[in-house]
Amino acid sequence: MLNDRQLSIIDLLSKSEVPISSENIAGVVMKSKRTIMRDLSTIKEFLESNDIGQLIVNVKGSGYKIIINDRKAYNSFMEKIINDEEVIIFELINNDYLTIEKLSDILYLSRISVSEKLNLIKEKYSSFMNIEVSNKGHHLNESTEKKCFLLSSLISGNTGYYLDKMNITSAEYEKLCNCIEHSPEIKEYFPNVISSDIADLFISSVVFKGQKNKDTNTDFEHIFEYCDIDFTPENIATLSSISDYCISVNLNLNISQIENVLSLIEAENSIRFDNPKLASQLYHHLKRILCYPAYLKNYEVYNISNIKALYPFSFDLSIIFINYMEKLYGYQIPNRDLIGLYFTVGMEDMRNHKHNILIYSNINSIANINKQLIESSVSNCNVEITDRLDLDSIKSFSIILNGTSKDIHTDIPVFSAPYILSENEISNIKEKLENISINRNIQSIFPKEYSFTYSVKPSQTYRDILSDICRKLCDCNAINADEASRILEREASGNSLVINNFSIPHCISKKENFCMCIYIHLDKNVTVEGNNISDILITMMSASMTKNINIFKYIYRYLNENKEKLLDISSYDEFIKYI
- The answer to whether residues 544 and 425 belong to one domain is no
Give the global pTM: 0.69
Same domain, 11 and 68: yes
Residues 491 and 427 in one domain: no
Q: Give the residue among 510, 579, 511 at the shortest CA–CA distance from 537.
A: 579
Q: What is the pLDDT along the chain (579 residues), one digit of tens a residue?
A: 677 688 888 888 888 878 888 888 887 776 778 888 888 999 998 888 888 888 888 756 568 888 888 877 777 676 556 678 888 999 999 899 999 999 999 888 889 988 988 988 887 788 789 999 999 999 999 999 999 999 999 998 888 888 888 889 989 999 999 999 999 999 999 999 999 999 999 999 998 765 555 668 999 999 999 999 999 888 999 999 999 999 999 999 999 999 999 999 988 877 778 778 899 999 999 999 999 998 886 555 556 777 777 788 888 889 899 999 999 999 989 878 889 888 887 666 555 556 789 999 988 889 999 999 988 888 778 899 998 887 777 877 888 999 998 888 887 888 888 889 988 888 888 777 766 667 767 888 899 999 999 999 988 999 999 999 999 999 999 999 999 999 999 888 777 888 889 999 998 888 877 889 999 999 999 988 778 899 999 999 886 554 445 788 888 888 988 888 898 899 999 999 887
φ, ψ dihedrals at 482, nearest 5°: -65, -45
Dump the DSSP string for 448-470: STT-EEE-PPTT--HHHHHHHHH
Domain containing residue 331: CATH number = 1.10.1790
42 assigned to some structural domain? yes
Q: What range does the domain containing 345 cover?
A: 253-351
87 plus 105 within the same structural domain: yes
Give the CATH number, domain containing residue 545: 3.40.930.10
CB 385 within 8 A of CB 436: no
Rounded Cα distance between 383 and 370, Å, is 9
Give the end of a domain, one of 317, 351, 385: 351
* Residues 295 and 404 placed together within one structural domain of the fold: no
- Report the domain count for the chain: 5
Give the domain CATH number at 30.
Answer: 1.10.10.10
Note whether 365 and 451 are same-domain residues. no
H or E stretch including 399?
Answer: strand 399-402
Q: Are residues 543 and 569 in the same domain?
A: yes
Residue 450 sits in the same domain as residue 569: yes
Rounded Cα gap, residues 237 and 219, in angstroms? 12
Which whole-number Å values give the CA distances from 105 to 76, 114, 278, in the listed order? Answer: 26, 10, 50
